[in-house]
Amino acid sequence: MSEFNESGAPLDRLERSPLITGAGYRMLRRIQEHPRAPRWNYVVGDRLVAEDLEAVDRFRRTVFENRASRPGLPPPEIMDRVRMWIETIPLFLERLPRGFDLERDWVHVPTMSREDVAVRPEDIVPPQADRSRLIVYDTSGTTGHALVVPFHPRAIAKNHALMELVLARYGLRPEFKPGTMACINVAARAHTVVYPMVFSVWNQAGFAKVNFHPRVWPDPQNARGFFSDLAPGFVTGDPVGLAEMMRWDIEVRPAALVSTAVELGAGLRDRLARRYGCPVIDWYSTTETGPLAYACPAGRGMHVISPDLHVEALDPEGWPAPEDQPGELAVTGGRNPFLPLLRYRTGDFGRIETGPCPCGDPMPRIMDLSGRGLVLFRAADGSRVNPVDVGRTLRRFVLVQHEFLQRADGSCRVKIRPAPGLPPDPEAVRDALIDLFGAGAAVEVVVDEGLGRGDSDRKVVPYRSEIEAPD
């Protein structure tokens, strides 16, 4: 039997949510025990302590106040962190000589890759980092094979301040308070975690991640009742989940919809805006980097979201791309103490513009962002398959990278690059994908040790489909 403290929360809940209050626990139970709730399959908490809230407050002030154009090199505060990294972190010690002049020779700093994170995480985590609060996230694999990424609860909490910034740029300042539902995150996948929680950083306001799938919500009417009763302040999700929310005829009046994970098409954006009568904001993020950019309210690309990030566009050889040409986006900085990023190649492409913007945000803009277009696959029975489910299936195997193609006739081919010394069983990979796509699906598995190596490293597209996705 669980023990309880003065908030009324059992001690096992306090381990996950140390700052939960009585009001917060009542809100959590309201969501969890709602008569029309989905079938929850996961338990999670924010794992924050009081010092974390103070750190988020400081970060919030920085995010709102320290915004500048910043062309050229990373700003001094990021450069100071990089100097510390190259003197202590094994991966960087190996690649850069002592005394390396960062200001003079920045363009010669070797880039980081997904392979570094996948194969050598122990050489990236700073030796002095306190691992006692380390948690693990996995990526969706939208730009390559899914990765397991070490994270800190405080770094995740800081994302809330970034969301506040983005909402404010659209004229929205929601009030987060106990007893209210801050946000619902929506998905439409064969398999994903589904859970309720409350956010300490948002004054014990509620949150839920839900999945529009018959196994989770057999009766769509229950989903409609859940949204109607809890009335989230805003809704987040990838374009597939947001489109499915419309198809399920969910009645909700959020202040905003925030689209994540893959590029939001203009057609779907406009349909969502008409249907729900609110701004639809495209949000660019990767698990490795955290939030990177948000759609400019004036339609001028995507503004870099946080002053603790430096984003540059690189050509295939790692040199700065010409200003009028797109390059691969590389990121330095961030707020994850367990994953310092030094010119980390994201696998996405775009141009960097600086200078005044009509919207008033002076931060650099990513123009012509590409690499995360919406792709949908078709199962043997004609139903849709989300690329995230393909990534989840391939995650069972120890791979560095993959490239999945569905042809117009429905047949599939996946190229996989195994981790060194850990060859996968191609038949096992094939059987797992057939389980996802259904009996009768034609699946070819190709083991390609050279996938993503050398000149081809900038050209691997993890998901492609000759079956046109709906707008």
Q: Which of 7, 3, 5, 6 is nearest to 21 (CA)?
A: 7
Query: Residue 418: how many CA atoms within 13 Å on its side-chain side?
Result: 12
- 2 assigned to some structural domain: no
Distance CA 323, CA 317 (A): 16
Q: Does the pLDDT at position 447 exceed 60? A: yes
- 150 assigned to some structural domain: yes
Q: Are residues 254 and 189 in the same domain?
A: yes
Mean pLDDT of the chain: 91
Distance CA 160, CA 46 (A): 12
Q: Are residues 438 and 355 in the same domain?
A: no
Query: Which residues, in sequence order, are bridge partners of residue 278?
Result: none
Residue 202 tokens, joined: 């948002």
- 163 assigned to some structural domain: no
When divided into structural domains, the chain yields a total of: 3
- 146 assigned to some structural domain: yes
Distance CA 348, CA 345 (A): 8
For residue 109, give its domain range.
66-156+284-370
Q: What's the confidence (pLDDT) of residue 457? A: 42
- 3-state SS, 280-312, equals EEEEEEECCCEEEEEECCCCCCEEECCCCEEEE
pLDDT grade, residue 174 (50/70/90)? very high
Q: Are residues 178 and 252 in the same domain?
A: yes
Q: Are residues 48 and 180 in the same domain?
A: yes
Residue 171 tokens, joined: 């004229």
Distance CA 377, CA 437 (A): 9
pLDDT digit string (tens) for 98-110?
A: 999 999 999 999 9
Query: Which residues, in sequence order, are bridge partners of residue 4?
Result: 10
Q: Are residues 362 and 382 in the same domain?
A: no
Top pLDDT among 55 and 69 is at 55
Q: What is the CATH number of the domain that holds 103?
A: 3.40.50.12780
Amino acid found at 152: H
Q: Are residues 190 and 271 in the same domain?
A: yes
pLDDT grade, residue 459 (50/70/90)? low
Q: Average pLDDT of 49-69?
A: 97
pLDDT digit string (tens) for 249-295?
A: 999 999 999 999 777 888 889 999 999 999 999 999 998 999 999 99
- 453 assigned to some structural domain: yes
pLDDT digit string (tens) for 134-167?
A: 998 765 555 555 667 899 999 999 999 999 999 9
pLDDT digit string (tens) for 83-98?
A: 999 999 999 999 999 9
Last residue of a domain, one of 351, 370, 389: 370
Task: Annotate 223-261 with b (16+ C-beta within 10 A) or e (fewer).
Answer: bbbbbeebebbbbbbbbbbbbbbeebebebebbbbbbbb
Last residue of a domain, one of 278, 313, 329: 278
- 383 assigned to some structural domain: yes
Q: Are residues 388 and 443 in the same domain?
A: yes
Query: Which residues, in sequence order, are bridge partners of residue 403?
Result: 415
Q: Are residues 267 and 322 in the same domain?
A: no
Q: What's the confidence (pLDDT) of residue 137? A: 74
Task: Annotate 176-196 with b (16+ C-beta within 10 A) or e (fewer).
Answer: bebebbbbbbbbbbbbbebbb
Q: What's the confidence (pLDDT) of residue 391? A: 85
Q: Are residues 85 and 138 in the same domain?
A: yes
- 111 assigned to some structural domain: yes
Q: What's the confidence (pLDDT) of residue 106? A: 97
Last residue of a domain, one of 326, 354, 370: 370
What's phi and psi for 186, nearest 5 deg? -115, 145
Q: Does the pLDDT at position 237 exceed 70? A: yes
Query: Residue 220: how many CA atoms within 13 Å on its side-chain side?
Result: 11
**Crossing angle for the helix pair 50-65 and 153-169, nearest 10 degrees?**
40
Q: Does the pLDDT at position 1 exceed 50? A: no
Query: Residue 261: how many CA atoms within 13 Å on its side-chain side?
Result: 21
Q: Are residues 190 and 55 in the same domain?
A: yes
- 471 assigned to some structural domain: no
| Cβ atoms of residues 325 and 110 within 8 Å | no
Q: What's the confidence (pLDDT) of residue 458? A: 45
Q: Does the pLDDT at position 214 exceed 60? A: yes
Q: Does the pLDDT at position 17 exceed 80? A: yes
Q: Are residues 272 and 182 in the same domain?
A: yes
Q: Are residues 53 and 180 in the same domain?
A: yes
